[in-house]
Every structure is written in structure tokens, then in C-alpha cells.
Chains A and B, each alone.
Chain A
Amino acid sequence: DGGITQSPKYLFRKEGQNVTLSCEQNLNHDAMYWYRQDPGQGLRLIYYSQIVNDFQKGDIAERYSVSREKKESFPLTVTSAQKNPTAFYLCASHPFGRGNQPQHFGDGTRLSIL
């Protein structure tokens, strides 16, 4: 069954620690996205990638990093410099270039500070 898998579902970060959120898709989609969702707020774009080995900053990329070494995978690292990382992180994919298609989402990772 095709879809997007995010792991872990819950993640706890200590002060001074980088953490990496996993996102894997088997939909054969070219584009992948990372969003941050805070309580009562909409989705804010962190990074996106339309092709392997290439990615672009979104609206709130500062103190986050990504890589796109494989089409199926788009991990997000929340660096220790990110002062307020507590949020719900969503990964999405899209068959970029095949217009009029929705973005498909994973079930998210909730990151909290210890």
C-alpha cells in the first residue's frame, strides 16, 4: 500500500542536541516537503525538494537542514540552534510536473523539548 512513513511518531530533544526526523515515501513522487505545524496555526514550509540532490528553503528554514540523496527519502534535521523546536512536523510528497494532483501527507512527528 503506497504512502508516506514518518518516524518516530514522538521525539524528545535535550538541550544542545541535534535530532533527525525520518520521511520515506513509496509513491514514486518527485517532490517532497517538510512543514511545521504549531497549535492553532496553519502549515509553515521549512524545506522542499523537487529532485534528488537538490532542495530549496521554505519560509522558516533557519536552523533546520535536509538532504535528498534518494528519491524515496527526505530526512529533516532540527539543529540544537533551533530555540523553540516544539511542534508537529509533517512530511508531504507530490508528483511534481503532473499537475492538478494533491500533496500527500505522512502522519507526522511530534517533537518536544526535555
Chain B
Amino acid sequence: EDQVTQSPEALRLQEGESSSLNCSYTVSGLRGLFWYRQDPGKGPEFLFTLYSAGEEKEKERLKATLTKKESFLHITAPKPEDSATYLCAADNYGQNFVFGPGTRLSVLP
């Protein structure tokens, strides 16, 4: 069965303290790996799509990378406004995406 897991479940960082979030996937085939940001009481907001191992995408303080088994979301010098839940999802050529449970990030001032 195709599966996506994320770690850690929750992460607390001080402002400026860089770290990485992990998304591990086990799928029969990968058409794309997607990262989303979700604020409390809101729907997930699309951040990045990664298609093949070795690919990297950047946006402000965020950088997403992809290997054959996992993806990382690197957060450099985070600010309190980066606090959110980060979801990853795999498009496995099926009729739906496989979503991970998310990592809840808190950045303290």
C-alpha cells in the first residue's frame, strides 16, 4: 500500500534557528511530490512541486529537495510567521494524492 510519512510530528524552533522537515514516501510510482503550508482554520496552500530525484525548489526561507525515497523541506533562519503545519503529498499516478499527516512547526520570537 502506498504511504507517506512525515517527521517530526511537531517542531519548535527559536527565530533564526534553521532546521529540516522530512517526508518519506513509499509509492508504486511517483509523478510528483507536493509541499503545502496550512495555517490554523485554513485550507492547505500549495508551496512546491518536485518531479525527480535531485530536484530542488526555493521560495524565500524555504527550500525543498527530493531523493528517491524522501523529500526535505529546509527552513533557513525561520521567522514566527513561518509557524504552520506543513503537509507533503505524493501523486502516485492514481486517482488521488497520498497525503502525509503533517509537521506542526512553531517558531518562537
Binding site for B on A (CB under 8 A): 4, 6, 33, 41-43, 45, 48, 50, 56, 58, 88, 90, 92, 99-108, 110
Let me know if A42 and B102 touch, CB within 8 A: yes
Of the listed residues B87, B95, B101, the one surrounded by the most CB atoms of chain A closer than 10 A to its CB is B95
- Checking B42, B51, B96 against A108 with a beta-carbon cut-off of 8 angstroms, the contacting residue is B42
**Nearest chain B CB to A59's CB is how many angstroms away?**
9
What residues of B have a CB within 8 angstroms of the CB of A50 in the complex? 95
What residues of A have a CB within 8 angstroms of the CB of B101 in the complex? 41-42
Let me know if A90 and B31 touch, CB within 8 A: no
Let me know if B49 and A108 touch, CB within 8 A: no
B76-97 Cβ-contact flags toward A at 8 Å (1 or 0) = 0000000000010101000111
Let me know if B31 and A100 touch, CB within 8 A: yes
Count of chain B residues with Cβ under 8 Å from any Cβ of A? 22
Let me know if B46 and A110 touch, CB within 8 A: no
Given contacts A88-B41, A102-B34, A105-B44, 10 further A-B contacts (CB under 8 A): A42-B87, A42-B102, A43-B87, A43-B99, A45-B96, A50-B95, A100-B49, A104-B46, A106-B43, A107-B41
Complex Cα distance, B51 from A92, in Å, reads 21
Given A108-B43, A110-B41, CB of A100 within 8 Å of CB of B51? yes
Complex Cα distance, B44 from A6, in Å, reads 13
Let me know if A100 and B32 touch, CB within 8 A: yes
What residues of A have a CB within 8 angstroms of the CB of B43 in the complex? 4, 6, 90, 92, 105-108
- Checking A6, A42, A106, A110 against B99 with a beta-carbon cut-off of 8 angstroms, the contacting residue is A42
Let me know if B96 and A33 touch, CB within 8 A: yes
Which 5 pairs show the lowest CB-CB distances between chains A and B? A105-B43, A42-B101, A102-B46, A43-B99, A107-B43
The chain B residue with its CB closest to the CB of A3 is B43
- For window 1-57 of B, CB contacts with A under 8 Å fall at 31-32, 34, 36, 41-46, 49, 51
**Nearest chain B CB to A35's CB is how many angstroms away?**
8
Let me know if A48 and B96 touch, CB within 8 A: yes
Let me know if A100 and B95 touch, CB within 8 A: no
